[in-house]
């Protein structure tokens, strides 16, 4: 099963200081860029043709698409959704 290894991200001091959805989203964007910048740019370009959105404004479906494309497991996708306040109901 694919995985990005997100569990280690949440223990980093840079993440622990993220006290808003905006900052958490920027942290995740940064980590995804570090993981595979070309792939991340490709998926964002496919989803958002004009401008890159603010991470806090990305909906549940879009987070799922981005993370799955980047190789996140279903559990990791659910974890990020929860951290970004975008839990499937």
Rounded to two decimals, the pTM is 0.87
Instruction: Give the residue from 6, 31, 16 showing the smallest Cα distance to 81.
Output: 6
Instruction: Give the residue from 86, 1, 2, 88 showing the smallest Cα distance to 28.
Output: 86
Grouping H, G, I as helix, E, B as strand and the rest as coil, residue 12 is: coil
Per-domain residue ranges of the chain: 6-83
The pLDDT, as a whole number, for residue 74 is 92
pLDDT in tens, the chain (89 residues): 468 888 899 999 999 999 988 999 999 999 999 999 999 999 999 999 888 888 888 888 999 999 999 999 999 999 998 888 776 54
The pLDDT, as a whole number, for residue 82 is 87
């Amino acid at each position: 099963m694919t995985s990005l290894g997100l569990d280690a991200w949440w223990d980093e001091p840079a993440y622990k200081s993220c006290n808003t959805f905006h900052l958490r989203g920027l942290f995740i964007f940064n980590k995804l860029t570090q993981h595979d910048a070309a792939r991340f740019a490709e998926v964002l370009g496919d989803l958002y043709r004009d401008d890159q959105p603010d991470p806090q404004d990305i909906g549940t479906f879009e987070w799922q698409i981005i993370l799955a494309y980047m190789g996140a497991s279903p559990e990791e996708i659910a974890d990020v959704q929860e951290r970004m306040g975008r839990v499937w109901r």
